Amino acid sequence: MKTFYMNFFAVLLTIFLFSCKEKPKNAEIRINQIGYYPNSVKKAVVVESNEDEFEIKTTDGKEVFEGKLKDAGYWDKSGENVKIADFTAFNKPGKYILSVDDAKSPSYEFEIKTNLYDDAFKASLKSYYLIRVSMDIDEKYAGIYKRKGGHPDTLCYLHPSAERGEGHIASPKGWYDAGDYNKYVVNGGVTVGTLLNLYEMYPEVAADGYTNIPESGNGVSDLLDEIKYELDWVLTMQAPDGASAMKLTSKNFTGFIMPDQDKTKRFVVGKATAPTLNFAAMTAQAARLYKNIDAGFAERCLTAAEKAWSWTEKHPDIEYKNPPDIKTGEYGDNDFTEEFWWAASELYLATGKEQYLEYLNTHEPYIKMVVGETWRQFLGNIGSFSLLLAETQPEITPVKEKIKTQLLETADALLNKIDTIPYRIAIDKFKWGSNSDVQNTAIILAYAYRLTKDKKYLDGVMETMDYIFGKNAVGYTFLTGFGSKRVMHIHNRISGADGIEEPLPGLIAGGPNGAQQDNISKTKFGVEYPSDFPAKSYVDKQPSYASNENAINWNAPNVFVLGFIKENTDKLQ
Ligand code: 9MR
Ligand code: 9MR
């Protein structure tokens, strides 16, 4: 009998000890590491959790809010079971963490506060100054990121592919395209177009002095001053016959050295339809928006724009291909409908001429979201946005009505998509530079909000940006200089060579890229990826050009959306 009781108690004790044993803590929390506006939608993602509840606590551990986790299902792009923590109802400014009982650790600290993104906006815009070509970057404006100017580009050789004879031209200024030191007209296009759209929407968003650049104090918006630095270079790319070259480049990508150390020869390369239409669109848009600011510059831009358009009428389908001796970025394209629409829109707005109106009347207007190469697939939208933003004559009203209809159809489709994707973004394809796709969806939602004032679109913008700042499958804040889990090893030659631990601030990393073109199994210059899932195909390592490079066309939508949010803070706080 005694043994029976002993055994009985032993069993009870085991059961008791077993039930007391800590449950496995496997869950992870992905949150916007910058935070949330007091009155914005506030959601975080929790993966692999068996819990039903979450808590918000102050940084010293006091519980201030409790909520239910909502099941969002399995995401086959990240291989995770996802739950959503919605704490929109909690709106008290302060610093907090979010915790879930079975999470490996609580969330990173985040803030609920007014003017949440102002510093990020400023840094993102200021990053263009830090990557200017051909000038010293002074301590007065750049602090520790001061550096000697590189690439004066006063002696640039005409490559045979430019079909501009022999010899050389001066082609200074502009911004470095990305991690590399070259300058491409095509990628300048989507960047300048998006930034000028922002200026037109909110001329005061970065007023004179806002970013502390050398032009600050000249009475002109710092945003316009920054864009002009690129346009001054773009103008040099036009041949006497009106065509634009493709790029100003060295023959190969250079090593990770500072700009002033790179003495390789630079060439004017290519002559094709895509860069020429980009050129026409950018310069026509500039002609209109700089008219009351710098009349001489505006006039130069308009003449150049019309000349470029005329050339493309005679050469509507010349595709650019890298000549055999040129190995730098190709930005290849053989479909110019987007470019034509954008150029025709800007030329119509700048001149009011019948020929451009006719083009717009006889072609399909564009508001659409195509995931992938934003530098060629987002261009039609820019033209349509300009048509919506500008004051126009009644003759164009039918075109604008069609654009508005398409805008709302596209925006509604994006919102529906957000509801079907567990991480609550509107894309589920992760290509090279996916962060620009994500942010471009936010641009479309921003215009829909501006048109309708329906809060659902603003909520869509805010949720989309949560992804960029940490609510994503790798948990990184993708803007350098920001967030607790921050990007430190961006594929950027200056950041790699300047000897400063923190990378240049305000750069957007390309982001998850399912194709992993730089996977070590494919190239000896590559990296190892921690996962095969597309939404997790990101590594914060310098060699990873396919997931961790910066580029001017990926920062532009960041500047646009954060600028848009800044100008709409009254609805969020
Ligand atoms: O640094 C280059 C980056 O800007 C490009 O996006 C990328 C793809 O074209 O190529 C990078 O350069 C690499 C080159 O392709 C192969 N050798 C190593 C270079 C630096 O990582
Ligand atoms: O953004 C470009 C991406 O869509 C292409 O797939 C990729 C490969 O061709 O090139 C990207 O652009 C790079 C350019 O060619 C050179 N400078 C760096 C750009 C960003 O990686």
- Residue with the smallest CA separation from ligand 1 atom 5 is 545
Residue 2 has pLDDT above 70, yes or no: no
Beta carbon of 94 within 6 Å of any ligand 1 atom: no
136 shares a domain with 54:
no
pLDDT, tens only, 104-126:
999 999 999 999 999 999 999 99
343 shares a domain with 255:
yes
What per-residue confidence (pLDDT) applies to 313? Answer: 98
**Cβ–Cβ < 8 Å for 199, 118:** no
**Cβ–Cβ < 8 Å for 333, 320:** yes
- Give the residue ranges of DSSP H helices in 117-243: 118-130, 139-142, 185-201, 222-236
CA 253 to ligand 1 center in whole angstroms: 6
390 shares a domain with 336:
yes
**Cβ–Cβ < 8 Å for 515, 526:** no
102 shares a domain with 199:
no
Residue 387 has pLDDT above 70, yes or no: yes
Residue 414 domain flag: yes
Does this model's pTM top 0.85? My answer is yes
Q: Which runs of E-coded beta strand occur in 87-151?
A: 94-99, 110-112
Residue 528 domain flag: no
Domain endpoint, select from 112, 141, 168: 112
Please tell me the number of the ligand nearest to residue 247's CA.
2
Beta carbon of 179 within 6 Å of any ligand 1 atom: yes
Residue 17 has pLDDT above 70, yes or no: no
**Position of tokens 């316009």?**
224
* Catalytic residue list: 180, 491, 540, 549
108 shares a domain with 122:
no
Confidence of residue 20 (pLDDT cuts 50, 70, 90): low
Residue in 566, 567, 570, 571 with CA at minimum distance from that of residue 116: 566
Residue 284 phi, psi dihedral angles, 5° rounding: -70, -40
- Residues whose CB falls within 8 Å of the CB of residue 69, separated by 6 or more in sequence, listed in order: 46, 49, 51, 52, 53, 54, 83, 84, 85, 100
286 shares a domain with 370:
yes
164 shares a domain with 52:
no
Residue 447 domain flag: yes
CA 329 to ligand 2 center in whole angstroms: 6
CA 80 to ligand 2 center in whole angstroms: 29
The mean per-residue pLDDT over the stretch 27-46 comes to 98
Residue 70 domain flag: yes
Which domain CATH number covers 233? 1.50.10.10
Residue 15 has pLDDT above 70, yes or no: no
Beta carbon of 214 within 6 Å of any ligand 1 atom: no
Atom of ligand 2 nearest to the CA of 372: 4
Please tell me the number of the ligand nearest to residue 433's CA.
2
Residue 2's SS3 state is helix
CA distances from 436 to 190, 334, 458, 528, 569 (A): 11, 21, 18, 23, 23
Please tell me the number of the ligand nearest to residue 550's CA.
2
Domain endpoint, select from 59, 89, 112: 112
Q: Report residues whose beta carbon is within 6 angstroms of any ligand 2 atom.
A: 177-178, 180, 329-331, 373, 432-433, 545, 549, 551
The mean per-residue pLDDT over the stretch 507-528 comes to 97
CA 256 to ligand 2 center in whole angstroms: 17
Residue 60 has pLDDT above 80, yes or no: yes
Residue 13 has pLDDT above 80, yes or no: no
Distance CA 55, CA 107 (A): 11
Residue 19 domain flag: yes
Atom of ligand 2 nearest to the CA of 433: 1
What strand order describes the sheet that includes 156-158? Answer: 168-169, 156-158, 267-269, 247-249, 183-184
295 shares a domain with 147:
yes
Q: Parallel, antiparallel, or unpaired: how do β-strands 35-36 and 63-75 relate?
A: unpaired
177 shares a domain with 49:
no
The mean per-residue pLDDT over the stretch 509-526 comes to 96
What per-residue confidence (pLDDT) applies to 498? Answer: 98
324 shares a domain with 242:
yes
The mean per-residue pLDDT over the stretch 428-439 comes to 98
Which domain CATH number covers 55? 2.60.40.10
288 shares a domain with 412:
yes
CA 154 to ligand 1 center in whole angstroms: 25
Beta carbon of 549 within 6 Å of any ligand 1 atom: yes
135 shares a domain with 86:
no
Beta carbon of 180 within 6 Å of any ligand 1 atom: yes
Distance CA 69, CA 63 (A): 16
The number of domains in the chain is 2
Please tell me the number of the ligand nearest to residue 547's CA.
2
The mean per-residue pLDDT over the stretch 252-269 comes to 98
CA 545 to ligand 1 center in whole angstroms: 6
262, 326, 545, 553: which to mutate for ligand 1, most atoms within 8 A of CB? 545
Residue 300 domain flag: yes
Domain endpoint, select from 47, 81, 112: 112
Atom of ligand 1 nearest to the CA of 179: 4
- Using alpha carbons only, what angle is made at residue 565 by residues 560 and 566, rounded to the nearest 5 degrees? 95
Number of Cβ within a 10 Å radius of residue 332: 15
Q: Could you list the residue range(s) of the whole structural domain that residue 84 is in?
A: 2-112
- Residue with the smallest CA separation from ligand 1 atom 13 is 253
Residue 108 domain flag: yes
Residue 500 domain flag: no
**Cβ–Cβ < 8 Å for 92, 113:** no
